[in-house]
Amino acid sequence: MRVVAMILAGGAGTRLTALSDNRAKPAVPFAGKFRIIDFTLSNCVNSGIFNIAVLTQYKPHSLNEHIGIGKPWDLDRQRGGVHLLHPYQGKAQEDWYKGTANAIAQNLDYIRRMQADTVLILSGDHIYAMDYREMLDYHYQTQADLTLAVRNVPLEETDRFGIMTVDESMQVRDFHEKPKDRDKGTLASMGVYIFKTDVLVERLLEDSPETPRIDFGSHVIPSMIPRDKVMAFLFDGYWVDVGTVQSYWETSLELTNPMPPLNLYNPDWVIHTRSEERPPVKIDPQGRVQQSLLSNGCVIRGSVSHSVLSPGVYVSPGAVVRDSIILNDTWIGPGAIVDKTIIDTNVVVGGGAIVGDGDDNTANHQMPDKLNTGINVIGAESIIPIGKRLGRNVLVGANTAESAFPEGDIPSGETISGE
């Protein structure tokens, strides 16, 4: 069987606020040295799948640069390898991708060129380790037209997923995309689909105003259940959608636990990435580090606890970083305190500043649904003025200069924008 993997990586990730201002969600750094898409790419190559297309759309430059020709994943091959597929304007119906299914439909020529009889469709924005070979074997054994990877989720989270019901043989009998009613069960789609190629092509070509085929969850899967064999494959391993600030923060800091649920150190399942040439981590005599992940090039002269630091972060003498995620090349000034905060790349935190001050958890006034658990988000290339105090649920947009900050402390729930 010839398998081609199609990775959907065009999402804007708006729920991640400033972290996705200048990059697609799959390109957001994660766990220090990785990007979110590294997990899906590594799952493919660790599963022996080397024919891979990555479908990009929203601000793809960071993602394109990261993947390049695919060398870190052994995908720089003359036959197979990785291909970056962008939307384009053509003579027919090519245009911006309107949804997950439409993105695949606009690249059916690529699938045909690969002469694949099986298409594995994946999301590029989930954190998990999965051997797709087990699911492929199940797909072939059941002779399914479509196989969906599923897992049980808490009842209160069912409105975030496609929820399905199955019979005793695990054949899917009903499917509801992000149901508002919580009586549809807890079996959720993971966004991992295996199609017979000819069935996929036939169903996507049914697209019309009367029978739209724009999105898999809303259109394609529900249309297939009455007439095709749609099977569910139960996955009980680790899988997280880090699509919100809270889940991104929680999932990242879980990795600092003595026995984290995701093992980044498994030699039998390596997570590959494009690594930067950086010197080793340096901890000065006055530096203190506890329960944290530190990446190459970090220099620690202050205190770091229960935090994740990406390459090149500098923590000055007397500075304190706790319960936080600090991305590449950020500079934390002398005596500064960073508490329960996500800081994007190339940020300067002025000496004596406090980012995450007090116990007032007032939700962010502009984004109350996205920043409401006390986490601050500081956008890339921003400068926090010396001695400035920021409360909780504060959002600082990308490229915010010192001059954009008003006088005095910044209360909880405020937004500071460089625009």
Between residues 344 and 181, the one the model is more confident about: 344
Return the sign of the alpha-carbon dihedral for residues 143, 51, 222, 169. Answer: positive
Residue 11 vs residue 320, higher pLDDT: 320
Lowest mean pLDDT among 56-60, 174-178, 297-301, 323-327: 56-60
Report which DSSP code applies to 65.
H
Q: Look at residue 298 in the predicted model and tell me its pLDDT.
A: 98
What are the structure tokens assigned to 249, written together?
Answer: 């923060």
C-alpha to C-alpha distance for 172 and 102, rounded to whole angstroms: 23
Contacts of 79 (CB under 8 A, 6+ apart): none
pLDDT for 92 equals 55
> With bands split at pLDDT 50, 70 and 90, how would you rate the model's confidence at 93?
low
What is the C-alpha separation between 23 and 272, in angstroms, rounded? 20
The answer to whether 29 touches 125, Cβ cutoff 8 Å, is: no
CB atoms within 10 A of CB 392: 27
> Which tokens is 114 given?
């690969």
Dist. CA 129–CA 236, nearest whole Å = 11
Fold adopted by 3-254? Spore Coat Polysaccharide Biosynthesis Protein SpsA; Chain A (3.90.550)
Rounded to 5 degrees, what are φ and ψ at 160?
A: -95, -5
Look at residue 211 in the predicted model and tell me its pLDDT. Answer: 92
Q: Which residues contact 169 (CB under 8 A, 6 or more apart)?
A: none
pLDDT of 51: 96
Sheet holding 320-322, edge to edge: 288-290, 303-305, 320-322, 337-339, 354-355, 389-390
Q: Is 268 exposed, middle or buried (0-12, 13-18, 19+ CB in 10 A)?
A: exposed
| pLDDT for 118 | 98
Indicate whether 17 pLDDT > 80: yes
Compute the radius of gyration of the chain from its Cα atoms. Answer: 23
Yes or no: say if 216 and 101 are a contact pair by the CB < 8 Å rule. Answer: yes
Residue 81 is classified by DSSP as E
pTM score over 0.75:
yes
Q: Is residue 95's pLDDT more than 90?
A: no
| Burial grade of 113 (CB within 10 A; 0-12, 13-18, 19 or more) | exposed
H or E element, residue 82: strand 81-85
**Contact (Cβ atoms closer than 8 angstroms) between residue 184 and residue 163:** yes
What is the predicted pLDDT for the residue at 306? Answer: 98
pLDDT in tens, 235-279: 999 999 998 999 999 999 999 999 999 999 999 999 999 988 899
Predicted confidence at residue 78, as pLDDT, reads 74
pLDDT band at 79 (very low <50, low <70, confident <90, very high): confident
Rounded (to 5) percent helix, strand, coil in the chain: 20, 25, 55
Statement: residue 83 has pLDDT above 50: yes
90: pLDDT strictly greater than 60: no
**Mean pLDDT of all residues in 352-363:** 97
Q: Which CATH number fits domain 277-419: 2.160.10.10, 2.60.120.10, 3.30.450.40, 1.10.10.10?
A: 2.160.10.10
Amino acid at 293: L
Given the structure tokens 């999105």, which residue do they identify? 215
- CA-closest candidate to residue 245, choices 13, 16, 3: 16
How far apart, in whole angstroms, are the C-alpha atoms of residue 365 and residue 414?
Answer: 6
Q: What is the DSSP letter of 279?
A: P
Residue 184 pLDDT > 90: no
Q: How far apart are CA 2 and CA 412, in angstroms?
A: 54
Could you give the percent of the chain with pLDDT greater than 90? Answer: 86
Q: Which of 111, 101, 105 has the alpha carbon at shortest distance from 93?
A: 105
Domain range list for the chain:
3-254, 277-419
> Which of 28-42, 91-105, 292-306 has the weakest average pLDDT?
91-105
Structure tokens at 413: 């729930």
Separation between Cα atoms, residue 296 and residue 280, nearest integer Å: 5
The pLDDT value recorded for residue 94 is 58
* Interval 1-10 mean pLDDT: 94
pLDDT value of residue 419:
63
Number of other residues whose CB lies within 10 A of the CB of residue 96: 13
Taking residues 220-234, report their average pLDDT: 97
List the structure tokens of 110.
Answer: 């690529």
- In 3D space, the residue among 64, 408, 30 whose CA is nearest the CA of residue 38 turns out to be 30
The span from the CA of 368 to the CA of 62, in Å, is: 28
CB within 8 Å of 9: residues ≥ 6 apart: 24, 26, 37, 54, 55, 56, 60, 63, 124, 125
pLDDT band at 164 (very low <50, low <70, confident <90, very high): very high
Instruction: Output the six-digit token pair for 77.
Output: 């091959």
Cα-Cα end-to-end distance for the chain = 52
Rounded Cα distance, 82 and 303, in Å: 41
Asked if pLDDT for residue 160 goes beyond 90, the answer is: no
pLDDT of 91 reads 45
- The pLDDT of residue 132: 98
Is 60 exceeded by the pLDDT of residue 364?
Answer: yes
pLDDT at 208 over 70: yes
